[in-house]
Structure 1
């Protein structure tokens, strides 16, 4: 298997109006971050496990974990091992009766299991070289949910990769622009709420 980089979950970012989520993985050895788009259900599942929130009944990822253990297996690690056509791929490495099993999986599902079983998270070095981001300032990722523009640089690349890097980074620029629009809408909603409060000082208005 290709060279692997151990990583950890740095944070999960969300646009309050579009509900789009990005999970940020951090290289444990270098100041590199890998953003991956994930769905709302997977985001919630990962967040519940990270915050160790107790739930009355097992969720889907709890069920998968329990099934693996009940069948005599154990999760050794999860690996994000491929990036193809802007889609990330991963595997869950399971050991059962001395046999190693690799299960093909979406990275979001693998991460949801990793935080439940406290196993290491690994990323292919090739993916980190081609898709990771090195922030110029620590505030860079906070700009994903704020109306702020902060410059950033790519991981070291050759001149031949410049066009590819620019195309890839345009996705994040578009995302930041959407968040800026969301922020402006939130400000307009706040102004409207203030006007309603003035008109109905004793009213109790809830926002969904």
Structure 2
């Protein structure tokens, strides 16, 4: 486990993306607890492309960022979903120069962008325990969603979700 001053970190994975009309929920799992981070439609599309291994004809913003980092021998070491501020998930992007001894740069970044970069570069996703303890376990909601789509012919209409967004 990486050391981050003052933070106990848990490994997390992106399980899936649940698209809505104008936004989406990214389902992450840490320990045995799934939780959601709500993101914009375009960020959700970028995350889904990475999960599915799809490439676009021309590079998009996250591709360009990845190319710039590679061009300057900078590697993404990891991302940490580090805090929740006013119901918004915040992340820290940890970068290092390839071959440099402990030359590390930490950047405050939107959680949605950090997830895209983590998936694109194959680096670990971590969640701070203090964040993990604040998020709702959405296991039951996911079961209702799966049951709904298993029996529904309407792919656009989802079940009512009782999820605390605060």
* TM-score w.r.t. length of structure 2: 0.81
Map 1:137-176 to 2 at 5 A.
139-142=143-146, 146-147=158-159, 169-171=163-165
**Matching residue of 1:73:** 74
Where 1:108 maps in the other structure, the secondary structure is helix
Alignment partner of 1:48 is 2:57: no
Retained in 1: the 8 A contact 2:28–2:34?
A: yes
- Give every structure 1 segment of 4 or more consecutive aligned residues whose post-TM-superposition deviation is greater than 4 Å: none
* TM-score w.r.t. length of structure 1: 0.65
Aligned with residue 25 of structure 1, among 24, 28, 34: 28
Between 1 and 2, higher relative CO (CA 8 Å, sep ≥ 6) is seen in 2
State the Cα distance separating 1:5 from its structure 2 match: 0.7
Structure 2 unmatched ranges of 5 or more:
150-156
The 1-side partners of 2:138 and 2:38 are apart by 18
The 1-side partners of 2:138 and 2:54 are apart by 32
For residues 118-175 of structure 1, what are the alpha-carbon distances to aligned partners after superposition, in whole Å with 9 as ceiling and x for unaligned?
Answer: 00000010111111315248614536963366x8xxxxxxxxxxxxxxxxx4449xxx
Retained in 2: the 8 A contact 1:31–1:134?
A: no
Structure 1 unmatched ranges of 5 or more:
152-168, 173-208
Larger Rg: 1 or 2?
1
Where 2:92 maps in the other structure, the secondary structure is strand
What is the root-mean-square deviation of aligned Cα atoms in Å? 2.3
State the Cα distance separating 1:14 from its structure 2 match: 1.5
> Counting strand residues as a fraction of each chain, which structure ranks higher?
2
